[in-house]
Amino acid sequence: MSIPSAVNPDLVKERQNATFDVDEFASWFYGDTALMGMKRLITEELYRGLDDPLDLEYMSYEDVYTAGVKQAVESTVRMRNMQEKINPGGTEIYPTLLSGLVGNAMMPAGNPMAVHLLMFTKALKGQGTSEQYERWGKRADNFEIIGTYAQTELGHGTYLRGLQTRADYDRRTDEFVLHTPHISAYKWWPGGLGHTVNYCIVVAQLYIDGESKGIHLFLVQVRDEETHRPLPGIDIGDIGKKIGMPGVNNGYLGLNKVRIPRIQMLMRNAQVLEDGSYVKSPVSQLNYFPMVYVRAAVAFGNTFFLAQAVTIATRYSAVRRQSPINEPEPQVLDHITQQMKVLPEIASVVAYRLAAGQVWSLYHRTAKDVNAGDYSRLPELHALSCTLKAACSYDSTYAIERMRQSCGGHGYLAAANLGNIFGLASAACTYEGENSVLYLQVGKILLKAWGDVLAKRQLMPTMSYLGELAAWKQFPQWTGSWQQLVEALQYAATNKTRLAHQHYTTRLGAGRTQPQALNETGIELTQAAELHGRAFVTYTFLQEVTGKAAAKRSANLNRVLEQLLELYLVHTVQRHMADILRFVPLSEQQIDDLQTRLELVLKQVRLNAVAIVDGFDLEDRELSSVLGSYDGNVYERILASAKKSPMNKRPVPVAFERYLKPFMRAKL
């Protein structure tokens, strides 16, 4: 069935009525006009001739994996060739675009080599010595070997100190003996581990003469480089089907007293000498630096997953007409209840894009400092990456499900692609640190920060507001300004931290051990951590919209960003009203005023909703949705996708003659 070449008239009208320049918005959103133009040129070339991602829905599990490997290899080759053609030695195309939107569009089954790029190669370079990088890192960069990063175990995940895989040093042979002593010690979940990689960085407990030295990183070959068969002592395979990412080939790994040379422990920081002497790392957190990178990347990635879902839902809501209100039937997007589902998430995309950019910048500054021997930024980066990873993955996951529901029954179609987007986003709630555990880690950092407040010590920049607001005897007279909405969240976070610290200290005084007191204070700690995250995101959004950068933007774009800021702030304050009211004495009228502001700004944002999501600059290939295409011809695309089903290749199914016909003619 052919798809009309003309754009749906409702979308034409929406775009004509936009009050700002979409290209200016897109350039601002991506941070650079030249970068925006390059992205469009590059993706036009990269997306040419790709298979229909809907084909994957009708394949077997093994065929999906095979397709995933094919897509990953072809995408890698195409991107590397393009990088060499456009800017030899650069990284803006390869490997950068292999992850994120472009990578997902080119590899819809998932990339079984993603962890190789995101963690394996980076760990070899960042945690290995220069000699180790020369020997293995360069080979990994050139895909002469393919690896993954095996940390999570069947019985332990975020609690790294509980990992059970052992690496015992044998000084007689100058080797480490790696062993998974229990079934719960099996490595579980690493991407590509099942059947793709031949090397693996194993995170294990180091033992020297029976004494634990904590977790360290070890390079282990798991498959023969020529035959790809598992090596002796290696029990390896695929963990089976998951909710999403069918082609990523997540695997398991058991080690039965596997010996590796001492030089295969990554020793840029901590070291084991030939005589068994142990040289401690200058900063223990350096072992976790690869995870910090991924957590920062998750915030970016989930922001764009949400952008995909919001774009699909907004365009569909603009062309779908249904209601008895009047004739002709109004667009679904004209219903205020639909606006309440969809439009706040448009603002969330912008808010998290800005916040993720801040964390990403901090990561790169910290990495540069670490290379120079300065580790002072590490605690703040750890706290911020944990906070934003948890907040963004939680919010985007729940929001994507709301976007699916906002599309009605058609949102449940595989061809709508909202299910796949949900699968990608929701996985981030548990990988690289389960979110509630990350919030607990941030809560413990907040406890320490409150101790610094009481002792009048300097706080890390993103927690400095705790000291400032702790000095307030009461919240200032309510004005409802943007600044005050942010301060209300900061004030709630400050006082939640104060109470958590107070109750934690009381429990210690009552004889609880530190772990017991932390566990019993866990609810308050996670609430304080979440509010701290809200405070960071809203403050970052406010600074961007009202700060010096506004002078570089047109008045029309600034007006749209101000409306999105208003929507995000009011909506976020309403979500946390119970926490705020505990510490900020708002009257019923002041609360009503916030509701009035919400309803007004929904109408304002609705006028530009389609144009704003156009500004996210997501191509049809990146959306892969019959509901979200730029032309808005949703019904034609839905029917065309249905006709692609293998079930429709024959008029009468096999099941009719085999089962239905005999059943219908039987006398029951």
**Can you say whether residue 404 is alpha, beta or left, with left for phi > 0 and alpha for psi between -120 and 50 degrees?**
alpha
Task: Report whether 191 belongs to an annotated binding site.
Answer: yes
Task: Report whether 337 belongs to an annotated binding site.
Answer: no
CA gyration radius, the chain: 27
Instruction: Enter the DSSP assignment of 628.
Output: S
How wide is the angle at C-alpha 294 spanned by C-alphas 290 and 295, nearest 5°?
A: 115
Report residue 8: phi and psi, to 5°.
-50, 130
Cβ contacts of residue 596 below 8 Å, gap of 6+? none
Q: 319: which 2 tokens? A: 């062309």
| Three-class secondary structure assignment of 77-91 | HHHHHHHHHHCCCCC
Contact 433, 393 (CB under 8 A): no
3-state SS class at 218: strand
Cβ contacts of residue 492 below 8 Å, gap of 6+? 531, 576, 579, 580, 582, 583, 584
Counted residue by residue, the chain has a size of 668
**Which H/E stretch holds residue 127?**
helix 121-127
Cβ contacts of residue 380 below 8 Å, gap of 6+? 362, 460, 461, 462, 463
Buried b (16+ CB within 10 A) or exposed e, 190-200: bbbbbbbbbbb
In order, the DSSP letters of 288-316 are GHHHHHHHHHHHHHHHHHHHHHHHHHHHH
Q: Alpha helices, DSSP H only, in 407-473?
A: 418-427, 435-454, 464-470
Report residue 221: phi and psi, to 5°.
-85, 130
- Rounded-to-integer distance, Cα 271 and Cα 555, Å: 57
Contact 42, 93 (CB under 8 A): yes
Cis before residue 95, ω within 30 degrees of 0?
A: yes
In order, the DSSP letters of 203-257 are EEEEEETTEEEEEEEEEEE-B-TTT-PBPTTEEEEE----SS-TTS--EEEEESS
Contact 531, 492 (CB under 8 A): yes
DSSP bridge partners of 260: 176
How far from chain centre, in Å, is Cα 251?
A: 21
Dihedral over Cα of 549, 551, 555, 556: its sign:
negative
How wide is the angle at C-alpha 562 spanned by C-alphas 557 and 565, nearest 5°?
A: 130
Report residue 216: phi and psi, to 5°.
-145, 170
Contact 292, 92 (CB under 8 A): no
Q: Does 345 qualify as catalytic in the annotation?
A: no
Q: Which of 14, 175, 432, 524 is catalytic?
A: 432
Cis before residue 328, ω within 30 degrees of 0?
A: yes
**Which segments are annotated as binding site for FAD?**
152, 191
Annotated binding site, which residues?
152, 191
Residues serving a catalytic function are: 432
